[in-house]
Amino acid sequence: MKIVEALRKQKEALGISYESIAVCSGVGIATVKRAFSGQDISLERLEKIADAIGCQIGIKVTISPSNLYNTQVEKKAQEIVKRVMQTSALEGQAVDVKAKAKMLVQAKSMIAKMPKSQVWG
């Protein structure tokens, strides 16, 4: 919705009508109205509308790739250790805190050696 809000502000600042935006963008007026009401339209059409009123749609990276990767490794390691602990508990072999921490370190090390594409699966 931040995109729609930014487009609305620009439209208001320009004092431009939906009809004029449609003509300038080459997008139908119904699509222009859907865009400004926050309904789904294709990215291609949204970009044309934005361009017609002097805006550009972009992507802002909020988490670095390495941080996101490390978070995924941690998550996957936690899942593995959780399964091992559940199995151990069912067998009456509860795992203590130190053993759990050691398993977590080992799981992270093992996962870090995997191809990156497998870390996300």
CATH number at residue 24: 1.10.260
Res. 91 pLDDT band, cuts 50 70 90: low
Distance of CA 96 to the CA centre of its chain: 36
Dihedral pair phi/psi, residue 15, rounded to 5° = 65, 35
CA dist., res. 28 & res. 21, Å (int): 9
Question: 32-61: string of b/e by CB count within 10 Å (b at 16+)?
Answer: bebbbeeeebeeebbebbbebbebeeeeee
Domain membership of residue 59 (yes or no) is no
Residue 115 lies in a domain: yes
- Domain interval for residue 79: 65-119
pLDDT of residue 39: 94
pLDDT at 84: 84
On average, the pLDDT of the chain sits at: 91
Is residue 60 domain-resident?
no
Instruction: Count CB-CB contacts under 10 A for residue 18.
Output: 16
CA distance 48 to 61: 23
- Give the number of domains in the chain: 2
Task: Confirm whether 11 is domain-assigned.
Answer: yes
* DSSP 8-state secondary structure symbol assigned to residue 16: -
- What's the pLDDT score for residue 45? 97
Q: Are residues 110 and 71 in the same domain?
A: yes
Instruction: Inform me whether the pLDDT recorded for 120 exceeds 70.
Output: yes
Asked if 47 and 82 sit in the same domain, the reply is no
The Cα–Cα gap between 119 and 31 comes to 40
The model's pLDDT over 7-43, given as tens digits with 9 standing for 90+, comes to 999 999 999 999 999 999 999 999 999 999 999 999 9
Give pLDDT, residue 35.
96
SS3 42: coil
What average pLDDT does the segment 50-77 reach?
94
Residue 103 lies in a domain: yes
pLDDT at position 20 is 97
Answer yes or no: is pLDDT of 93 > 80.
Answer: no
Note whether residue 36 is domain-resident. yes
